[in-house]
Amino acid sequence: MDNPIDLQRYPLDRVGSVQWHELVAQARDDLHQHGMFNLEGFVAQEQVRLAVERIVPTMASQSHEHKRTHNIYFKPQLDGLPPDHPALRTVETVSHTLCGDQLQDSLVTAIYEYPPLLNFLAAVMDKPALHVMADPLARVNVMSYRHGETLNWHFDRSEFTTTLLLQAPEAGGQFQYRSDLRSESDPNYAGVARLLEGRDPQVQTLALRAGTLNVFRGKHTAHRVTPVQGLRERMVAVFSYYERPGVVFSAEERLGFYGRAS
């Protein structure tokens, strides 16, 4: 497969060049100021459209529907909080997932494994190196959200999340986030409650275009995708990178996320 990334605009393959350093610096600055950075047009619209055409039949017939009721922490309880605390109010998430073993020889896997992308992300994050996952299911996923479905409010477990938007819906499906809602030293349960009650004026909304690479720090920033509207589903590739090689999920985690262990 020819390289689908716009390397003229985003010179990931020219490590050490002036343009590469400028791109790293801009991404670092955006990450520091906003908790994320976006590379719009990272992949050309036509390339993304063709990738979606290939994925749609498999998504329609073989994806795993994941429907769950959860709180913002994805934990049944938190020490020191009563079960009826408003910070623990439950929401519903519904999505459809294709796993890494269903995406072999695809555009999303080629991008996920592209070594200059890993080098670039490591530089932006000030990491010695980043590695692809060894887990055949979890390494790269494509998530789909259909009419009325949503990824509801949550905090991420990982330090950062890397996604590539493959298809935007007709309406809805917008990325909303509330930066720095909590910290390592302050869980800010009152602020979490205000957010879940719809009373936080600092919530921001971001409408992404297909082909945009988004890197987001969601461990302390609450975020969600609003309900999708219309017949065209929202489709996003999720890339999982780690600072050490060989990372795999447990069989229990695979069953919980994908409905199968292998």
Buried b (16+ CB within 10 A) or exposed e, 28-43: eebbeebbbbbbebbb
Cβ-proximal residues to 219 (8 Å cutoff; 6+ apart), any chain: 155, 156, 157, 158, 159, 160
Q: What is the pLDDT of residues 228-261, one digit of tens each?
A: 999 999 999 999 999 999 999 999 999 989 999 9
Percentage of the chain beyond pLDDT 70 is 100
Cβ-proximal residues to 52 (8 Å cutoff; 6+ apart), any chain: 166, 167, 235
Residue type, 233: E
Distances, alpha carbon 52 to alpha carbons 61, 236, 240, in Å: 14, 10, 20
The mean of the pLDDT values for the chain is: 96
pLDDT recorded at residue 159: 87
Residue 41 confidence (pLDDT) above 60: yes
| 43's tokens | 């992949």
pLDDT recorded at residue 3: 86
Q: What is the pLDDT of residues 175-190, one digit of tens each?
A: 999 999 999 999 999 9
Residue 36 confidence (pLDDT) above 60: yes
Residue 1 confidence (pLDDT) above 60: no
How many other CB atoms are found less than 10 A from the CB of residue 234? 31
| 257's tokens | 């996320």
Crossing angle for the helix pair 18-34 and 115-124, to the nearest 10 degrees: 50
pLDDT recorded at residue 2: 75
Residue 251: DSSP 8-state: H
CA torsion through residues 66, 91, 73, 124, sign: positive
pLDDT recorded at residue 157: 87
Most distant CA atoms of the chain, gap in Å: 55
H helices of 93-169, where? 107-112, 115-124
Domains defined for the chain, CATH in brackets: 18-258 (2.60.120.620)
Q: Give the whole-angstrom CA distance, residue 97 versus residue 143.
A: 5
Let me know how long the chain is: 262
Q: Give the whole-angstrom CA distance, residue 118 versus residue 131.
A: 7
Q: Give the whole-angstrom CA distance, residue 143 versus residue 139.
A: 13
Among all chains, which residue has been given the structure tokens 């309880």?
77
Pairing of strands 175-178, 91-98: unpaired
